């Protein structure tokens, strides 16, 4: 019985920890260039609900 109780507490605590995890969204886009080529953009946004901050990473790659 004690093992079952400890297991249940561990499950509840892990679910609570998972709900505090950061939320991440990712988007990608490809656009043709004005003089030819291609522009590839990637944006990743991570929201930390504990601190209320957003971290944004943006990458742009141009190919001739």
Q: Which domain holds residue 53?
A: 22-64
pLDDT digits (tens, 9 = 90+) for 6-39: 777 777 666 555 556 788 899 999 999 888 899 9
Q: Does residue 40 contact residue 60 with C-beta atoms inside 8 Å?
A: yes
Count of domains observed in the chain: 1
Degrees (nearest 5) of the Cα angle 40, 43, 47?
A: 175
Is there a domain that residue 32 lies in? yes
pLDDT digits (tens, 9 = 90+) for 37-57: 999 999 999 998 888 899 999
Chain-centre distance for alpha carbon 18: 14
Is there a domain that residue 14 lies in? no
Is there a domain that residue 17 lies in? no
- What predicted TM-score, i.e. pTM, was given to this entire model? 0.58
Put the strands of the sheet holding 53-63 in their side by side order.
Answer: 23-32, 38-48, 53-63
Q: What is the 8-class DSSP label of residue 11?
A: H
């Amino acid at each position: 019985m004690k093992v079952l109780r400890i297991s249940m507490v561990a499950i509840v605590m892990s679910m609570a920890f998972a709900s505090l995890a950061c939320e991440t969204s990712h988007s990608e886009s490809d656009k043709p260039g004005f003089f030819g080529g291609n522009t590839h953009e990637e944006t990743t946004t991570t929201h930390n609900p504990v601190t209320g901050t957003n971290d944004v990473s943006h990458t742009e790659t141009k190919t001739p």
